[in-house]
Amino acid sequence: MNLYMLVLGGKPAGRFTEQHDVFFGIANELKDLVPQMNEFWPELADRMHIDSWRKVTRVGNFQVDVIEKVADSVPHDVNLFFVNLGGYKPNDMEEYHYKILVVAQDLAEASKVAKESTFYKHYESSHIDDKYGIDVDDIYPIEDMLPASFKESYQLVFRIAEDSFEDLLEVGYLKISKLLAT
C-alpha cells in the first residue's frame, strides 16, 4: 500500500472560481482512491479533477512506509506533517500557496523547517497560522488528515533513508474519468 497526496480541484455549485483542497489516502494505485475522494468532497463527487499528486515514499531524510495497523504498535518519535504556506506578491490579488511535507518530532519543529523554505523567505507576508505563534496557513499531522477507514487499517512508519531519492510530483490536469480508464 502507498500513501498518496493529491490536490483536488473543481467548481462547486454557486462558486465563481475553481476551488482546491488537499487529500491524503492510502491505496495500491491512485485510481483506487476515487471513492474516498468523492466522500471527502461530496459537493464535487464525480465532477472533480486532480491538479497534482505524489506517491509519498520519501520526505527529507526519511523513508515513509505504510503497514497494516497492529494493536500493539510502538509509537514513533517523529510524525509526518502537511504544511501549507501562504504568501503574496506586490500588486497581485492572489494568495499563493506552497505545500510541503515535513517529518518532525512535533508541530514546533515542523513549523521551523517550513520557515526555512525558499517560499517563506521570498514571498511578502508569507505566513503560518497565528495559533502556532508563527505564520503558516495550515499545519496538520498527516494521520489526522487521513479518512477514518485508512486510520483504522494502516499506520505510517518512518526510517532513515539510505539514498537521495525524491518522490516524483505529477503536475497537470487529470480527469478522474481518464484515471479510471487506465
In this predicted structure, what is the pLDDT of residue 137?
A: 67
CA distance 100 to 84: 7
| Count of C-beta atoms within a 10 Å radius of residue 122 | 11
> 148 near 39, Cβ under 8 Å?
no
Per this entry, what is the length of the chain?
A: 182
Which residues of the chain are in CATH 3.10.20.10 domains?
1-56+167-181
25 strand-pairing partners: 4
Q: Is 60 exposed, middle or buried (0-12, 13-18, 19+ CB in 10 A)?
A: middle
pLDDT over 70 at 40, yes or no: yes
Q: What is the pLDDT of residues 122-175, one digit of tens each?
A: 776 655 544 333 345 688 999 999 999 999 999 999 999 988 788 999 999 999
**21-53 CB burial, b ≥16 within 10 A, e <16:** ebbbbbbeebeebbebbeebbeebeeebbbbbb
Tens-digit pLDDT profile for residues 55-107: 999 999 999 999 998 877 767 799 999 998 888 788 888 888 889 999 999 98
Top-level class of domain 1-56+167-181: alpha beta
Which secondary structure element, helix H or strand E, spans residue 52, and what is its range?
strand 49-56
